[in-house]
Structure 1
Amino acid sequence: MNAVKAVVNGNLVLEREIVSGQVLLYEGDTIRDIMGQRFFRPRMCEEVIDATGCFVTAGFINEHIHGCGGADAMDEADHALETMAALLPQTGVTAFLPTTMTYERSRIEAALTRIRTARCKKPQGARILGAHMEGPFINEQYKGAQEAAAIAKADISLIEDYGDIIKIITLAPETIDDETFFALCRDKDIVVSVGHSAATYEEMAGMADCGVYHVTHLFNAMPAFHHRQPGLIGAALTDDRAHCELICDNIHVHRTAQVLAYKAKGRDGLILITDSLRACLMGDGLFELGGREVLVRDGRARLADGTLAGSIVTMDRAVFNFLVNTGAPLPDVIAMATINPARDLGVAERLGSLEKGKQADITFLDDGDLHVRRTIVAGETVYMETP
């Protein structure tokens, strides 16, 4: 029988509110209850964790991350995914989708195979939920930092072979003629996300009618909004069905654009991501992304031609940035990093919020600048700030 543990004295960030004077109880890997502090007796528990000075939230879920700590999801070394999983809890992340790049098919398949294997292992840090396949079925005109030579036409066989591990696929719908491709993705519960695309407003509306309405890193790698050609951005901002990723490093998306996105989409339509590369948590220097050299200087990651090449932001900083920039209520912002991606990925019944019966994935944030103090995955502390 598992021993009960308790979190006391924290401000619990629930799905729609912040509550104090409550105790969070968990047993093994499962949240057992939330009860009033006056009813709590410490002798009930094996361990009592004091969360004074902290917001206590569900663990963050990062559905779009290429790498961190010198490791990348495309690395051929098996330990790369282990490195990412081990380091992400210090950023508040308890679950993630390692994200592939536009490469030749053999490299993508090898990466998906490694992710499949890693997902089956007991997590030693953040949990791998599956893979986000970004490319190679994209529009060269909006390739961003993706490699043009590796861009390919959509191939159903890739989805058939790896439908169990791919949870999101980013593609340019205007480049795909075979509608059975989208049907297969739906059958395998793969989220089709529009990104690196020149899709028009009308094409986006057609995709929505087919049940495809997810947008990869809104505003980036797509045509700018125009008042006579609202395009992909106009469609995403005005259709309530659209769920939009947002990189909140204050580099990829201006603060005012973040405010605009929040006003248009509200709490339920946005998903905070990092889109981070291996340089995340590493500081300035020369790095690699998709086989291309990336220079990180003053927090900006760019290719030699000046193209932005992912970010080095961490999820806790993305949450803090969006909170400060928009003035949104904290539960709204936390939802964009927890329950929204959980719903996106079909795992909201067990992840994404502090509720009885859900998994004990818990993040403790300093109530000042929201830096991470402690992270719990499946009931086990996997990161704790050093005093």
Structure 2
Amino acid sequence: MNAIINGKIIIGNTLVNDRVLIFKDKIIDIIPKNEISKYAIQYFYDAQGHYVSPGFIDIHTHGAMGHDFMDGEGEGIKVIAKSFATHGVTGFLPTTMTMDIGTIEKSLYNIQKSLVSGGSKILGCHLEGPFISPLNAGAQNTSFIQKPDFQLLENFKELIKLVTIAPELADAEDFIRKCINYDIVVAIGHSCGTYEDAINAIRIGARSISHTFNAMTPLNHRKPGIVGAAMDRDEVFCELIADNIHVHPAIQRILLQIKGIEKVILVTDSMRACGMENGVYDLGGQKVVVEKNSARLENGTLAGSILSINNALKNFKTNTGISIVEAVKTVTENPAKLLKMGDTIGSIRIGNNSDFVIHDEEFSILFTFINGKLVYRSGNL
């Protein structure tokens, strides 16, 4: 077994400075330094005063490093997963796009069979579309939008952990109920739905809002819209793309004040250009131009992002003034709770998987551990 010493360990809402983290594939113990002799330690990692955080989780990402999960090829997934580990991501949900059913199924089959070694873990899949509104599709291809039909998910109901849907669509209620019966989390997004549509979906069991504020009906004092419903219901988590392009910093602060740190989940919504140079790429079969730190369709519509999760953390902490401990919640404990995986990931506690990162105050990643194995290092700890 191994140990991390001299680290500021983030345990729940607390920062612990005087403990040693003992681990194999799972966390064995968290003890005072003078009790190390209880264990036969093979390797010591000296955190040198840096932060030891639960591994980061990204529940909404389409790709990176020139690859997209819709490409349907395993090598691309490995490249993406290894790249994510450098940003502190220990688990993620590959996210699909609105395309023809054959392409979506090919992507899902490929995700299902992919075994990533030396990179972030696949926790399941996020199906974003094709059950969305053609009037608020964002960068999704409207030609392939379909009405909600759970039969299209039948062969992948164990893989799919999260589905984004427009709640105003016909048959949406029945679809949401079936998802919930199979423990698939339902998110509201890419929708022209009213406040009432969203509230009804939440009452049925929807529990998340996809990239809050983007591609949905906005808050209005007479028509509260989906944003209003998200702010009105405590049980709903709100995804947030904190690249300061999708959502203004002031709105990020307002969302935090209303929802509280327990219900904000930072996501990247990254596309294949993440980690690449400026240029022309594609997303869901559509041309995307990457320049000035953003990715857009030719008509100017934002097309995902080129954001990394650790930069999202840095931005959100800077914009809101919260502590590092609070910021980390938005990419660890909160997404784990939404996905009902908090008993294995998302926090540093005895018995949980040994998924954690060592980072500095700016969220630069020094070490990434997944299931107790060191998969990334930057520096000389």
For normalisation by structure 1, the TM-score amounts to 0.95
Structure 1 residue aligned with 2:140, among 139, 142, 146? 146
State whether structure 2 residue 98 is matched by structure 1 residue 102: yes
Unmatched segments (≥5 aa) in structure 2: none
Deviations 1:170-221 (CA, angstroms, capped at 9, x unpaired) = 1101013253322210111111110000111111111121111310000001
> For residues 82-231 of structure 1, what are the structure 2 equivalents within 5 Å?
82-118=78-114, 121=115, 123-177=117-171, 179-231=173-225
SS in 1 for 2:71: coil
Structure 1 residue aligned with 2:17, among 13, 17, 20? 20
Aligned to 2:282: 288
SS in 2 for 1:88: helix
Query: CA offset at residue 124 of structure 1?
Result: 2.6
SS in 2 for 1:246: strand
Aligned to 2:29: 33
Whole-angstrom CA distance in 2 between matches of 1:73 and 1:353: 27
CA contact (8 A) 1:12 1:57 kept: yes
CA contact (8 A) 2:357 2:369 kept: yes
Whole-angstrom CA distance in 2 between matches of 1:330 and 1:124: 27
Aligned to 1:377: 370
Cα 1:293/1:46, change in 2 over 3 Å: same
Divergent runs of 4+, >6 A? none
Whole-angstrom CA distance in 2 between matches of 1:386 and 1:50: 11
Whole-angstrom CA distance in 2 between matches of 1:44 and 1:152: 58
State whether structure 2 residue 62 is matched by structure 1 residue 62: no
Partner AA of 2:4 in structure 1: V
Query: CA offset at residue 76 of structure 1?
Result: 2.6
Whole-angstrom CA distance in 2 between matches of 1:164 and 1:104: 21
SS in 1 for 2:246: coil
Cα 1:224/1:264, change in 2 over 3 Å: same
Whole-angstrom CA distance in 2 between matches of 1:280 and 1:113: 24
Structure 1 residues 254-263 or 196-205, which shifts more?
A: 196-205
For the aligned residue pairs, the C-alpha RMSD in angstroms reads: 1.3
Whole-angstrom CA distance in 1 between matches of 2:206 and 2:319: 30
CA contact (8 A) 1:350 1:359 kept: yes
Aligned to 1:325: 319
Query: What percent of counterpart residues are identical?
Result: 39
Structure 1 residues 324-333 or 94-103, which shifts more?
A: 324-333
**Matched residues, number:** 380
SS in 1 for 2:330: helix
Structure 1 residues 305-314 or 175-184, which shifts more?
A: 175-184
SS in 2 for 1:144: coil
Query: CA offset at residue 43 of structure 1?
Result: 7.5
CA contact (8 A) 1:283 1:299 kept: no
Partner AA of 2:80 in structure 1: M
Structure 1 residues 189-198 or 71-80, which shifts more?
A: 71-80
> For residues 344-383 of structure 1, what are the structure 2 equivalents within 5 Å?
344-367=338-361, 369-383=362-376
Unmatched segments (≥5 aa) in structure 1: none
Partner AA of 1:54 in structure 2: H
Whole-angstrom CA distance in 2 between matches of 1:209 and 1:43: 50
Query: CA offset at residue 74 of structure 1?
Result: 0.3
Deviations 1:103-151 (CA, angstroms, capped at 9, x unpaired) = 0011001111111111xx3643110011100001100111000001111
Structure 2 residue aligned with 1:81, among 73, 77, 88? 77
SS in 2 for 1:138: coil
Whole-angstrom CA distance in 2 between matches of 1:279 and 1:150: 23
SS in 1 for 2:262: coil
Whole-angstrom CA distance in 2 between matches of 1:80 and 1:95: 16
CA contact (8 A) 2:357 2:365 kept: yes
SS in 2 for 1:278: coil
Aligned to 1:5: 2
For normalisation by structure 2, the TM-score amounts to 0.97
Query: CA offset at residue 329 of structure 1?
Result: 2.3
Partner AA of 1:11 in structure 2: K
CA contact (8 A) 2:60 2:93 kept: yes
Cα 1:102/1:178, change in 2 over 3 Å: closer
SS in 1 for 2:261: coil
Cα 1:308/1:47, change in 2 over 3 Å: same
Deviations 1:54-113 (CA, angstroms, capped at 9, x unpaired) = 111000010000001111110132211111111110000000000000000110011111
Structure 2 residue aligned with 1:309, among 303, 310, 328? 303
Whole-angstrom CA distance in 2 between matches of 1:377 and 1:178: 37
Whole-angstrom CA distance in 2 between matches of 1:265 and 1:134: 23
State whether structure 2 residue 231 is matched by structure 1 residue 237: yes
SS in 2 for 1:63: strand
SS in 1 for 2:70: coil
